[in-house]
Structure 1
Amino acid sequence: MRVRELLVPFGLIALAACTADKADVPAANPISLETLKEVTQTLSSDAFEGRAPTTAGEEKTIAYLVDRFKKAGLQPGNNGSWFQDVPLVESIATPSTLVVEGSAEPLTFDHRSDFVANSYQVQPRIEVKDSDIVFVGYGINAPERGWNDYEGVDVRGKTVVILVNDPDYQTKGLEGEFEGRAMTYYGRWTYKYEEAARQGAAAAFIVHDTEPAAYGWNVVQSSWTGAQYNIDAANNHMDQSKVIGWLTNDAARKLLANSGQDLDALSAAAKRKGFKPVALKSKASITLTNEIKRQASRNVIGILPGTKRPGEYVLHTAHWDHLGRCDAAPDGDDICNGAIDNATGTAALVALAEAHAKAGAAERTLVFLAVTAEESGLLGAKYYAENPIFPLGKTVGGVNMDALSLAGPTRDIVIVGAGKSELEDYVKRAVTAQGRTTVAEPTPERGFYYRSDHFALAREGVPMAYFEAGQGLVKGGTAAGEAAAEDYTANRYHGPKDEYDPNWDWSGALQDVGLYYSIGRQLADSGAWPNWLPSAEFRAVRERSRAEAGQK
């Protein structure tokens, strides 16, 4: 789960009334605890070196997954192959210092401590020289909301400085220009770079702030340094900005103050509709040298063919990759093992394959898809969604698993991305059968809906259920759940200490994977086609893909 880089309650569509299409909720939990533990421990061991794409760690990972899929009873999912090649370009950028001149005094910012920088463009040397700097607020251009932070300014060839999240993230409720406290896609760092490129900016820097970003500067450092990946493209991504990156809050304050501007005052102004971009009295210069390597990574695909409707598909997804080697901990450990993120989700994928195979084939084909390069921007899932092995118009929907909770059993479940899809009925039915409840997302401002692989599939119209254990722990309640979540984010997330712990309490994770089993089985043994709600941004593309597949 890249912190990247992942919301209001789903509407109910009363599928329970459609008894002819309603599959029974499985009563027993068929998930193997031994499998969950064994696969998680194996994939997060030092021998797998953090499972970075295109490394020796990948080769070990995908070989292990194929072995486990075979033993589970699956068949190869891609015309006799277990793999789908995902063409990636890897780049390792070495930035110069960031130099800002032309205002009160020249400023020099150091890589890693003051900023991080990379580029989507595939070229060995990239230079931005004497580029005018413009503060563009939240960097949002949303005509349907009457909002344009670029209005009245031409930023072609310029460097833009952008705030993280969206303008109303501090709102207590879910009402506002950008859905209140809940992050919209306009708040994601990926969107901000996309829009900066559309506007022609030469460079785009996001100002880091822990609360709206939902992670500390240490996470930016670990995620944005070292090898970076993108899907290979014929145009070498030359339509993107030359440089993309982040500034620390302190660096941004100095940069703005050097032009007589105040970050707090500008941030307050940027929250209001009608904000006008502010041209600074300074220019930026930076050079990147890139080590470039083209090499395919692989998605791993296994299937359990359906008995009655084998040409209809139910997806189960989890990303197998993590960060590989990263910034060392104080003890010298420099392997980001990714035990929770996402060896646990990958283990769940294997355990689900075993459970469904033991239960016997369902009416529809069950697809188990372990995707690559999630940590680099959902690249494996994006490639599959744009180059599907199974037609998306005939893909019923599915579930995505990313970072199981090992804090113990909870009384509740949080549906991430609630308010968009009819799949909520399936989730709620399974949750109720466990004697648990669904609750509102406690931190919608963190934008978890946009931060895992289900989003890449949703953008192409496929309804995907994604949920997390709630914070209402059976032992300790909400306070203990909140403390556990914050501890993980602060001390292990995207760092070397996300390691396997033999003392973990797996009882809650076992319940949660049981929910995924139930939802997948309901979809696979039903004739229903759950859709997006009429208000969801993905409904139109779903209806087009269904029509193209000859489906109603």
Structure 2
Amino acid sequence: MVKRYSYFILILLAKQTAFCQSIDKVINAKEVERIERTLSADGMRGRKIFSPEIDKAADFIASEFKKAGLQPVNGNTYLQEFVMLRTKVVMAGGKMNGRVLDEKSVAAITAKETLTVTQASGYKQVIVHGTDTLNVLVSRLQKSGGDYLLMVDTAHRKWFDVYRRGMQNQFAPKGNIVMVLASEEAGEYSIEYRQTVTSMPLKNVVGILPGKSKKNEYVIFSGHYDHLGVGRANEAGDSIYNGANDDAAGTTAVMMLAHYFAKLKNNERTIIFAAFTGEESGGYGSRYFSQQFSPDQVMAMFNIEMIGTESKWGTNSAFITGYEKTDMGTILEKNLEGTNFKFYPDPYPTQQLFYRSDNATLARLGVPAHTISTSKMDSEKYYHTQEDEIETLDMNNMAAIIKAIAISSTSIVAGKDTPSRVTEDALKR
């Protein structure tokens, strides 16, 4: 009996050793450095949105996804392209209830270059009282996709003037909203609005590893590959915000995980690997991405942000934002039993990190979407500075973190564990 038990232990240890050797062949400090160094190089010039260099970074990420053998997200391309709009008012005015409307009393949210609206246009009229919250109301109406004429009380002049200046890097609205600064209800009216519309192209990079038995259930690994670009030079004469930790580190992890899971080829659920654009400018990439999938089909999201430095607990550790909002952290810790790695709850709750990264969009839709990070947010001296370069990062610790993410996600990828959803009550906490 003792011999049989000892034999079983030896077999188990042999399998564990083989597994460790297998993961080390794919996820190791040398490969981490290769990818990280490419993304955070001076030649990428800080990967600012709308720059040639961010396109260069996107092409590099796509090449890694192709090398891993992932399926492209759109036909034969890994680029998930979309546009943001910038508008500039050329002319605004008209007549309403017998009086002339000048350009300071008319605003519009529209993707059209020319808009003519009369009482026969079928616009639904909404009176915005002084006690209402204009921006919240406008946001709600935009989601409906309809056409509206808003009669806006002068108490909202400050917000009204913001809308009057036109859109800056906004998604194309589904409907049209015309606003008039007036407290009365509109009777007979004719409003003319003209603007220039400039389309600003952006792209996420997305690769897919189809699942076996649960193809319509998705697990997402993500990070953002944009950063701040080039700014004023510091005392050392460096003007490039390389963003090595923020978030070339997280994007490196996504590519490493893509290579790892593609080699395993045993995922029951479909895995989506996404490098988002525009996180630093408003989360544009993750917001667009979230519209392309039904949130009910997304079983979990591992968003990875700033894992290049040691956490407050040292090496072999990281924290999970919004840990208490689902049981995903508990599942990850269970899968890490027997290792020397530890996940902790977010130690910086007052900074609201759960809502400040690309996990937030899907989390608000109920998805167990969390960000994994090691950043010491109360003392990260290179955060958003020109000194955020690869020389400040620990490649060995990064590799250990990426391996821990891979191992901890095993039962979720296999379809054996499904984290609890984010509830509305949890979002309020």
Pick from 34, 37, 61 the counterpart of residue 33 of structure 2. 37
Equivalent position amino acid for 1:232 in 2: A
Q: Is the 8 A contact 1:469 1:512 kept in 2?
A: no
CA shift, 1:309, in A, is: 2.0
Number of the residue aligned with 1:531: 420
Pick from 367, 386, 406 the counterpart of residue 496 of structure 1. 386
Indicate how the Cα distance of structure 1 residues 65 and 90 shifts in structure 2: closer, same or farther if over 3 A, else same: farther
Deviations 1:100-131 (A, max 9, x none): xxxxxxxxxxxxxxxxxxxx9799xxxxxxxx
What is the SS of the residue equivalent to 1:343? helix
Number of the residue aligned with 1:392: 295
- State the alpha-carbon separation in 1 of the partners of residues 274 and 322 from structure 2: 21
Q: Is the 8 A contact 2:411 2:417 kept in 1?
A: no
- State the alpha-carbon separation in 2 of the partners of residues 368 and 315 from structure 1: 6
Q: Is the 8 A contact 1:66 1:82 kept in 2?
A: yes
1:417 aligns with 2:322: yes
CA shift, 1:514, in A, is: 1.5
1:512 aligns with 2:401: yes
TM-score normalized by the length of structure 1: 0.54
- State the alpha-carbon separation in 1 of the partners of residues 372 and 264 from structure 2: 24
CA shift, 1:468, in A, is: 2.4
Indicate how the Cα distance of structure 1 residues 439 and 301 shifts in structure 2: closer, same or farther if over 3 A, else same: closer
Indicate how the Cα distance of structure 1 residues 532 and 295 shifts in structure 2: closer, same or farther if over 3 A, else same: same
1:401 aligns with 2:329: no
1:230 aligns with 2:133: no
- State the alpha-carbon separation in 2 of the partners of residues 505 and 319 from structure 1: 19
Number of the residue aligned with 1:347: 252
CA shift, 1:445, in A, is: 0.7
Number of the residue aligned with 1:377: 282
Indicate how the Cα distance of structure 1 residues 238 and 358 shifts in structure 2: closer, same or farther if over 3 A, else same: farther
What is the SS of the residue equivalent to 2:47? coil
Q: Is the 8 A contact 1:156 1:199 kept in 2?
A: no
Indicate how the Cα distance of structure 1 residues 83 and 236 shifts in structure 2: closer, same or farther if over 3 A, else same: farther
CA shift, 1:201, in A, is: 4.0
Number of the residue aligned with 1:468: 373
CA shift, 1:396, in A, is: 1.5
Equivalent position amino acid for 2:387 in 1: K
Indicate how the Cα distance of structure 1 residues 422 and 327 shifts in structure 2: closer, same or farther if over 3 A, else same: same
- State the alpha-carbon separation in 2 of the partners of residues 90 and 496 from structure 1: 29
Q: Is the 8 A contact 1:397 1:463 kept in 2?
A: yes
Pick from 39, 55, 62 the counterpart of residue 51 of structure 2. 55
Equivalent position amino acid for 2:385 in 1: G
- State the alpha-carbon separation in 2 of the partners of residues 326 and 198 from structure 1: 40
Q: Is the 8 A contact 1:461 1:538 kept in 2?
A: no
Equivalent position amino acid for 2:288 in 1: Y
Number of the residue aligned with 2:355: 450
Indicate how the Cα distance of structure 1 residues 58 and 504 shifts in structure 2: closer, same or farther if over 3 A, else same: closer
Q: Between the two structures, name the one with larger relative contact order (CA 8 Å, sep ≥ 6).
A: 1
Equivalent position amino acid for 1:89 in 2: L
Superposed counterparts of 1:145-294, under 5 Å: 154=131, 201-203=156-158, 229-233=169-173, 293-294=198-199
Number of the residue aligned with 1:314: 219
Q: Is the 8 A contact 1:414 1:468 kept in 2?
A: yes
Select the structure that is richer in helix.
2
Indicate how the Cα distance of structure 1 residues 77 and 433 shifts in structure 2: closer, same or farther if over 3 A, else same: farther
What is the SS of the residue equivalent to 2:220? strand
- State the alpha-carbon separation in 2 of the partners of residues 407 and 198 from structure 1: 52
TM-score normalized by the length of structure 2: 0.68
Indicate how the Cα distance of structure 1 residues 90 and 497 shifts in structure 2: closer, same or farther if over 3 A, else same: farther
- State the alpha-carbon separation in 2 of the partners of residues 304 and 486 from structure 1: 37
- State the alpha-carbon separation in 2 of the partners of residues 237 and 374 from structure 1: 27
Q: Is the 8 A contact 2:363 2:422 kept in 1?
A: no
Deviations 1:338-370 (A, max 9, x none): 111011111111100111112224111111011
CA shift, 1:63, in A, is: 0.8
Q: Is the 8 A contact 1:49 1:335 kept in 2?
A: yes
Gaps spanning 5+ residues in structure 2: where? Answer: 1-15, 89-107, 112-128, 136-151, 160-166, 180-194
CA shift, 1:386, in A, is: 2.0
Gaps spanning 5+ residues in structure 1: where? Answer: 1-23, 93-119, 124-151, 159-196, 205-226, 240-289, 471-481, 540-552
Equivalent position amino acid for 1:65 in 2: I
Indicate how the Cα distance of structure 1 residues 370 and 533 shifts in structure 2: closer, same or farther if over 3 A, else same: closer
Indicate how the Cα distance of structure 1 residues 156 and 368 shifts in structure 2: closer, same or farther if over 3 A, else same: closer
Indicate how the Cα distance of structure 1 residues 411 and 306 shifts in structure 2: closer, same or farther if over 3 A, else same: closer
Number of the residue aligned with 1:65: 61
Indicate how the Cα distance of structure 1 residues 360 and 387 shifts in structure 2: closer, same or farther if over 3 A, else same: closer
- State the alpha-carbon separation in 2 of the partners of residues 41 and 405 from structure 1: 12
- State the alpha-carbon separation in 2 of the partners of residues 383 and 512 from structure 1: 28
Deviations 1:299-354 (A, max 9, x none): 11111111222222111111111111223323332222111101111111110011
Aligned residues between the structures: 334
Equivalent position amino acid for 1:233 in 2: P
1:88 aligns with 2:84: yes
Q: Is the 8 A contact 1:155 1:199 kept in 2?
A: no
- State the alpha-carbon separation in 2 of the partners of residues 91 and 517 from structure 1: 44
Indicate how the Cα distance of structure 1 residues 536 and 436 shifts in structure 2: closer, same or farther if over 3 A, else same: farther
Q: Is the 8 A contact 2:364 2:422 kept in 1?
A: no
What is the SS of the residue equivalent to 2:373? strand
* RMSD of Structure 2 on Structure 1 (CA): 3.7
CA shift, 1:73, in A, is: 1.8
- State the alpha-carbon separation in 1 of the partners of residues 133 and 354 from structure 2: 31
Q: Is the 8 A contact 1:77 1:367 kept in 2?
A: no
Q: Is the 8 A contact 2:316 2:400 kept in 1?
A: no
Q: Is the 8 A contact 1:91 1:228 kept in 2?
A: yes
Equivalent position amino acid for 2:302 in 1: V
Q: Is the 8 A contact 1:328 1:334 kept in 2?
A: yes
Number of the residue aligned with 1:550: none
What is the SS of the residue equivalent to 2:257? helix
